[in-house]
Structure 1
Amino acid sequence: MAALGLGGDGKLFEETVNSDRIKKLLDPSPSATAGLKEKIQGMKHLIAMMAKGRDVSEFYADVVRNVVTKDVELKKLAYMFLSHYADHSAQCRELALMAVASYQKDMEQHNALVRGMALRVLCSIRVREIVPIQLIGAKKLMRDMSPYVRKVCTLALTKIYSLDPTVKEDLVDILDVLLNDKAVAVLSSAIAAYSDVCPDRPEVLHRHYRKLCTVVADLDEWAQITALNVLTRYARTQFTDPRRTLSDADKAALDAARAARSAKAKAKPARRAGFYSDDEDETDSAPEDFAATVEDDASSLDADHALLIRAAIPLLKSRNAGVVLAVAGVYHYLAPRSRAHAEMVGRGLVRAMRGHRETQYIVLTSIVKLAGEYPEMFNQFLQDFYVAASEPASVKFMKVDVLASLASSTNASLILHEFTRYVRDTDKAFVSHCIRAVSRVAAIVPDAGGRVLRGLMGLVKTENSDVVAESVVAIRQLLQQGGDLNESVVVDLARMLPGISNPTARAAIVWIVGEFQDKAGIAAMAPDTLRMLAKSFRAEDKEVKNQVLNLAVKLSLRQPESKPVALLCQYVLELCRYDLDYDLRDRARQLRALLGAATSADGAAAASGGKARAAAVVLVAKPAPQMQRASTGAGSTDHQFGSLSFMVGHTAAGYSPIVDWALEASSPDTRDPSKPRPVRARASATMGRAAESGSDSSSSEDSDSDSDSDSDSDSDSSGGGASSSEEGSESDSDSDSDDDANAGGASRAAAPGGSAAVDGEDDESESESD
């Protein structure tokens, strides 16, 4: 492409223009030789350099002087540049103030693009003193006939709020009007603005809730994510938990409704999947089936609560994985538990998982959490979680976690057969992770314990020390689960002990031998095991020494008549007495005191009591370990499902935890669209506009009461944007125009030395306003 050259404006990315030439092209003085075409060409050079990442803020003053033009193309290019660099530096902010009056005048142009870009540039100036002017502009354009202008007005609310949070109530008034807009593009931005400006104000959403649930499928995919999150938080504050305990009457009614729906579904003829169908979506679990399921739950769901769930479920077919995750969040936090819900959400998440590696990782992190809590969601998609050799290690680990979580008596053999292939992998970290997953499967399905033990015993004989350690630890956990203990397993482990070098594995084997001495075969070989360990005691690792000490004391209590055992115990205690590790020395001193009490010469009764106390301390029954369904995964259990904090495992900036359920559901009348929003008491002198206090209060009341009719008439009118805005708020027109003129004078005073063209434009604006 570079060799052939780029045609049209594309060549601007290849050309290099010096600063003097650009300044000459942008010179607005009457004596300048550059005409309109040259100015446009100069602006295109600047936009091209800006797109390539070069800092061209030095031309900000030259661009500001070209804002005063009747050419739409030049004005558009200038506004693009000014918006980009409006908050670049203190100098740029001061220069931007020079053209504030021009921005205000352009907000009354007939061209919607010019009106919108003028407000965008005005609100991009990060100077707190002009917040009142920015608010006036937003109020003028919030009822503009162009959806583009109203969308820009919505986006401006977030900028104004970040600059001056004290004007929150004024912004909420504007946002309430924009949330009632009919244009989907405006609603998308309005929901995002609500999330930034007032996420803790559910009363703002009351009369818009049903409308948002209805149009959520029409929003753009990124706005759908925000909308679902906002509506989820709203529903948690307005409705009660549908999973609460129901009365017997409610349960009977719910079961009867489900039985009726099941009979109706069986009578309905099955449909064949379409030719282009890539899954079973054409035949199973259609959206209308879900709607029927929600109706079955009517005894426990508010009608508005069910409306949100019905509106969210079709979005599981979205191409955007973020939307699918947002719907899964709605299910996780709002929906009652049912098989129909679970299968639909599971199918959507599995489909979203078949994307890029980054998307796959994020979706799998969520699946690991859901599979641990609701395994029925993914039981029918077991093969989708089989590990491929080409997948990243992180994805492999999470798929293994999901497989272990989905284990049941019906699929345990399939999962174990799959794990048999994984333990032959060359990545030993992955093999160790699979071994931990196998132990969880055996804990979930006790009938598979024998097969798992045989497989783990084979892995103990491998050469990799990490694999051996994980295998021995897994065997120890399985033996602790109870059931019929196979003595040969413990005896074989004791015989393998001399050939195992990993400290963790050696410590686990010693613990097993000491814990299960109640079996005759184990009790017979335990003294010989202790003899070998005492011989190599000084060379053992710290954790192995602790277990050898415990084994010696346990043997002395279980076989008090054996003199060799007593001598070995005394020998080990003496070794521990002079060990370098102070924890081991303290432990040995404690156990020596217990054994001394157990063998007291004060009398048989005292010795019997001392032995009982020592046995109560050393030989106490150990509780079986609780095997979790998923032990790994990046997802955090302490943060909201689907959030960035959930992904990274710690609280990220801007995180808001999920709110608790309402103790009592709010009345459906509060969500009546015809009811006005309750207005909170405003803080005194929010913007310091004494001259506008009377007109603003009346206009806010008018906007609350007439918002529906005003937005409808504005959307259907064919007049100019500025005239429709002024007709919608006549009570503010005089004061706004006066403030515009005053603001223009203030901007000139703040930025002395402005060009003659800008000054002339300000004078013209003032005369028109007067």
Structure 2
Amino acid sequence: MSGHDSKYFSTTKKGEIPELKEELNSQYKDKRKDAVKKVIAAMTVGKDVSSLFTDVVNCMQTENLELKKLVYLYLINYAKSQPDLAILAVNTFVKDSQDPNPLIRALAVRTMGCIRVDKITEYLCDPLQRCLKDDDPYVRKTAAICVAKLYDINAELVEDRGFLEALKDLISDNNPMVVANAVAALAEIQDSSTRPIFEITSHTLSKLLTALNECTEWGQVFILDSLSRYKAADAREAENIVERVTPRLQHANCAVVLSAVKIILLQMELITSTDVVRNLCKKMAPPLVTLLSAEPEIQYVALRNINLIVQKRPTILAHEIKVFFCKYNDPIYVKMEKLEIMIKLASDRNIDQVLLEFKEYATEVDVDFVRKAVRAIGRCAIKLERAAERCISVLLELIKIKVNYVVQEAIIVIKDIFRRYPNTYESIIATLCESLDTLDEPEAKASMIWIIGEYAERIDNADELLESFLETFPEEPALVQLQLLTATVKLFLKKPTEGPQQMIQAVLNNATVETDNPDLRDRAYIYWRLLSTDPEAAKDVVLAEKPVISDDSNQLDSSLLDDLLANISTLSSVYHKPPEAFVSRVKTAPRADDEEFADTAETGYSESPSQGVDGASPSSSAGTSSNVPVKQPAAPAAPAPMPDLLGDLMGMDNSIVPVDEPTAPSGPPLPVLLPSTTGQGLQISAQLVRRDGQIFYDISFDNGTQTVLDGFMIQFNKNTFGLAAGGALQVSPLQPGTSARTLLPMVAFQNLSPGAPSSLLQVAVKNNQQPVWYFNDKIPMHAFFGEDGKMERTSFLEAWKSLPDDNEFSKEFPSSVVSSIDATVEHLAASNVFFIAKRKNSNKDVLYMSAKIPRGIPFLIELTAAVGVPGVKCAVKTPNKEMVALFFEAMESLLKFGCGVVSQELIDSA
């Protein structure tokens, strides 16, 4: 539809279906066309217009290409739920596949491939066979993709009818787009087949290299990805391939560039000439650097790929370290990746530049980034022996700033430096001991305790220092307790005087009698027996030489690195995991509507365990292939989002971890968000709830279809509170006529949307048998009211006075009636709105209450109501004005449905 067709979405008439039926059967062409547009508009916004199936199909007999496209779109959507009626359209398809107009021929074959109904499949074969040999290249390239779709429905049929051979013939086609689509189809078929289907020979190699120069960018990606599986026979052939692929490095599309880099890296393994290799390394640097001037999401994907490349061939970017320096406005996920690459590229030649950068980063405001920068300095010291002293002097300068988390991170890395260079830099221990009082993080405490224990003989007051930690021994985390135990034993073995004797007795007693940690208890008993039976053996065990730690900047195993490099420009290279770790090879049928997901990039679904995947997201719409070009790269830290509604819906994520199956929730019925009429028999009901301080999505699935539904996955669009799935969706395969209800744990502030606050929560759910369903829910702000929201009266008064009058807002809730003050207070307390005080104002009660949402945003509330009289006035003061509208929405909801609060409508009806 064109931009002028938006009017079709605004129909709200009550008798819409009968009226549309009448218009679809009109004798006037224009009226029929308008009616079909209205039907498609209704279908797009989720209305069930399947009852108009026969009337819409009757409009297929038309020469108007636009109308035909709309009818075909309708057919694709409803054929699965109306398979018997869909067969009525077959004759028109067959007829259209022989139409003089190539656009209509291609449209007919494409639509028949998208209608996933077994009964129709057999009718598709003859038209498809004709179209694969059609005179028009547009029809041939459409038919090529159709073979892959048909293979997915019925692989046996495709092989019996010789379609695979026909596809292989198309690789020799004279049209580059036909070649590209044939390659894409064969690659897709190969991914779902256990035996070799598509093997490139030296003959087909030259055909593909020739087509490469002339097809579109995505055609080039398909061809390049297929070529990356070809192993050249010798160095000469490898050089030839690289020579033909190298011009692709100059392409404007990032996916083409990365696919070309992948092939060059793989073929370089076979090239023996050092001059050729050096020359290729020079050529690869500029395009990789250019990727870092793109938008942040593409930068992130490029950096994840570069991270792998520099581990294999650091010389490519050895002179380009400056491009990885962080800009002040880089998103945190880009900064973190740049930091990793800078460590990998750090060398004796550039270490001074790098340290200056790291030192600057260590004074920034983002705590996580500062920590990583401090740790990076330590990692450079471990990597570069000649630069270790310079790194340590920078760390000592940072310690002098006395920023708590910087000091703690510095101590952690200095401990590793001592391990790497024993008996070299211990002169700085005195400086470290000055910061002892500021340590409050387990890892930093454990590191400092290790240093004291390891160098006890060089520290005069080592026993006093350790004793300061021992006072809180029972409350310390296990990491600190274990380190304290070992350090005290070391001290005793090195200085067996009275002080350490008393300390060791206290520690061993604490670690054996007063602990329930088996690791700590076992270690303490071993030390106790060693010390009491053979102190010399104890020295050999506890004071033994420690293995020197090594540089961990290239932490990937070489075989895994080679596997990841073979998958550059796919999700595998972003996750740094081999495809089989997160992709199910059990093919789910790729539906027509799923193509939209393939085009919007990687998904970030939280998966049902019945999918058989390790809790990670699939890489393509059908969850089948890791070799999907990265079109819209995934953002890292927050698994992602819908185009507008849809385009963002797929993202990153990363980070979804299966959790123990929660207890099936019970309680009142949930609001229906996807009715069964819209969900082709599947009904979804859900709402956000708060249980024991944790937010869950209470979601129920009712299967009204005739098939088992499984492989349920869910994804949330970016939203005001950054809500995202905090675990896997636990739904067992759902038998016909049954329902399942589960609690999905949620995490907040990981999936934030920009712009004004909104209570809208956009959700996408998919399973193995149906299309993707989108629906909207509301985020009730009271689900975020924390258990720490109660304030003392004096604090409440001080906070109220300290906030300016501009921060006070009020709203009337005319439809609420308070029937009991006590019941209202009790009900609001259950939602973490806490009572502070009460006073009378003429004949009305005024309640003062407080609530708090995460990130420490308080709401100071004044409720004014007369018992039994309609109307409640709510006033609120808060430092965050933007959230006020959502707060009133939440309070009105709580007051409308609370105990002791009755709705005015109920009173009127009574």
TM-score by length of structure 2 reads 0.57
Q: 1:408: how far off?
A: 0.5
Q: 1:564: how far off?
A: 4.3
Matched residue type, 2:491: L
Aligned to 1:644: 571
The one of 383, 400, 420 aligned to 1:481: 420
Matched residue type, 2:102: A
Q: 1:186: how far off?
A: 1.4
Matched, 1:399 2:399: no
Closer, same or farther: CA 527–101 of 1 in aligned 2, 3 Å: closer
Q: 1:181: how far off?
A: 1.2
Matched, 1:580 2:580: no
Matched, 1:368 2:307: yes
Aligned to 2:258: 325
Matched, 1:180 2:172: yes
Aligned to 2:282: 343
Matches within 5 A, 1:68-107: 68-69=61-62, 72-73=63-64, 76-107=66-97
Aligned to 1:65: 58
Q: Number of paired residues?
A: 561
Is the Cα–Cα contact under 8 Å of residues 452 and 462 in structure 2 kept in the other structure?
yes
Give the distance between the partners of 1:208 and 1:440, measured in 2 at CA. 48
The one of 381, 384, 387 aligned to 2:320: 381
Q: 1:646: how far off?
A: 3.5
Matched, 1:121 2:54: no
Give the distance between the partners of 1:225 and 1:396, measured in 2 at CA. 28
Aligned to 2:214: 218
Matches within 5 A, 1:441-460: 441-460=380-399
Aligned to 1:314: 247
Q: 1:213: how far off?
A: 1.4
Q: 1:508: how far off?
A: 1.0
Closer, same or farther: CA 121–469 of 1 in aligned 2, 3 Å: same
Closer, same or farther: CA 598–216 of 1 in aligned 2, 3 Å: same
Unpaired runs of 5+ residues, structure 1, are 1-5, 241-299, 600-610, 657-770
Q: 1:172: how far off?
A: 0.5
What SS is found at the alignment partner of 1:353? helix
Give the distance between the partners of 1:442 and 1:187, measured in 2 at CA. 52
Q: Higher mean Cα deviation, 501-510 or 405-414?
A: 501-510
Matches within 5 A, 1:624-643: 624-629=548-553, 639=564, 640-643=567-570
Give the distance between the partners of 1:205 and 1:134, measured in 2 at CA. 31
The one of 598, 610, 619 aligned to 2:543: 619
Aligned to 2:407: 468
Aligned to 1:653: 583
Q: 1:192: how far off?
A: 1.2
Indicate the structure with greater helix content.
1
What SS is found at the alignment partner of 1:549? helix
Closer, same or farther: CA 46–614 of 1 in aligned 2, 3 Å: same
The one of 223, 228, 232 aligned to 1:232: 228
Aligned to 1:192: 184
Is the Cα–Cα contact under 8 Å of residues 60 and 82 in structure 1 kept in the other structure?
no
Give the distance between the partners of 2:284 and 2:3, measured in 1 at CA. 49
The one of 22, 27, 32 aligned to 1:24: 22
Matches within 5 A, 1:436-585: 436-461=375-400, 464-482=403-421, 485-517=424-456, 521-522=458-459, 524-534=460-470, 537-538=473-474, 540-560=476-496, 562-582=497-517, 583-585=519-521
Is the Cα–Cα contact under 8 Å of residues 314 and 345 in structure 2 kept in the other structure?
yes
Q: Structure 1, residues 437-479: CA drift from partner, whole Å, max 9, x if none?
A: 1112112222221222122234335555433322111001111
Give the distance between the partners of 1:484 and 1:621, measured in 2 at CA. 12
Is the Cα–Cα contact under 8 Å of residues 407 and 435 in structure 2 kept in the other structure?
no
Closer, same or farther: CA 500–130 of 1 in aligned 2, 3 Å: closer
Is the Cα–Cα contact under 8 Å of residues 485 and 507 in structure 2 kept in the other structure?
yes
Q: Structure 1, residues 2-44: CA drift from partner, whole Å, max 9, x if none?
A: xxxx9976765667784444433332xxxx6x23343344444
Is the Cα–Cα contact under 8 Å of residues 378 and 391 in structure 2 kept in the other structure?
yes
Closer, same or farther: CA 626–57 of 1 in aligned 2, 3 Å: farther
Closer, same or farther: CA 543–79 of 1 in aligned 2, 3 Å: closer
What SS is found at the alignment partner of 2:348? coil
Matched residue type, 2:324: F
Matched residue type, 1:88: Y
> Which of structures 1 and 2 has the bigger CA Rg?
1
Closer, same or farther: CA 558–90 of 1 in aligned 2, 3 Å: closer
Is the Cα–Cα contact under 8 Å of residues 176 and 212 in structure 2 kept in the other structure?
no
Q: 1:320: how far off?
A: 1.2
Unpaired runs of 5+ residues, structure 2, are 272-276, 587-910
Q: 1:429: how far off?
A: 0.9
Is the Cα–Cα contact under 8 Å of residues 422 and 431 in structure 1 kept in the other structure?
yes
What SS is found at the alignment partner of 1:544? helix
Is the Cα–Cα contact under 8 Å of residues 336 and 369 in structure 2 kept in the other structure?
yes
Give % identity.
27
Q: 1:114: how far off?
A: 2.2
Closer, same or farther: CA 652–89 of 1 in aligned 2, 3 Å: farther
Closer, same or farther: CA 479–21 of 1 in aligned 2, 3 Å: same
Is the Cα–Cα contact under 8 Å of residues 86 and 93 in structure 1 kept in the other structure?
no
Closer, same or farther: CA 503–652 of 1 in aligned 2, 3 Å: closer
Closer, same or farther: CA 37–480 of 1 in aligned 2, 3 Å: same
Is the Cα–Cα contact under 8 Å of residues 87 and 126 in structure 1 kept in the other structure?
no
Matched, 1:142 2:75: no
Q: 1:545: how far off?
A: 3.1
What SS is found at the alignment partner of 2:319? helix
Give the distance between the partners of 1:439 and 1:7, measured in 2 at CA. 58
Give the distance between the partners of 1:530 and 1:113, measured in 2 at CA. 82
Give the distance between the partners of 1:324 and 1:490, measured in 2 at CA. 50
Q: Structure 1, residues 631-661: CA drift from partner, whole Å, max 9, x if none?
A: 79xxx967533322442456333569xxxxx
Q: 1:421: how far off?
A: 0.8
Which protein has greater RCO, CA pairs closer than 8 Å, 6+ apart? 1
What SS is found at the alignment partner of 1:434? helix
Closer, same or farther: CA 204–529 of 1 in aligned 2, 3 Å: closer
What SS is found at the alignment partner of 1:121? helix
Backbone CA RMSD of aligned residues: 3.0
Matched, 1:301 2:235: yes
Is the Cα–Cα contact under 8 Å of residues 368 and 402 in structure 1 kept in the other structure?
yes
TM-score by length of structure 1 reads 0.67
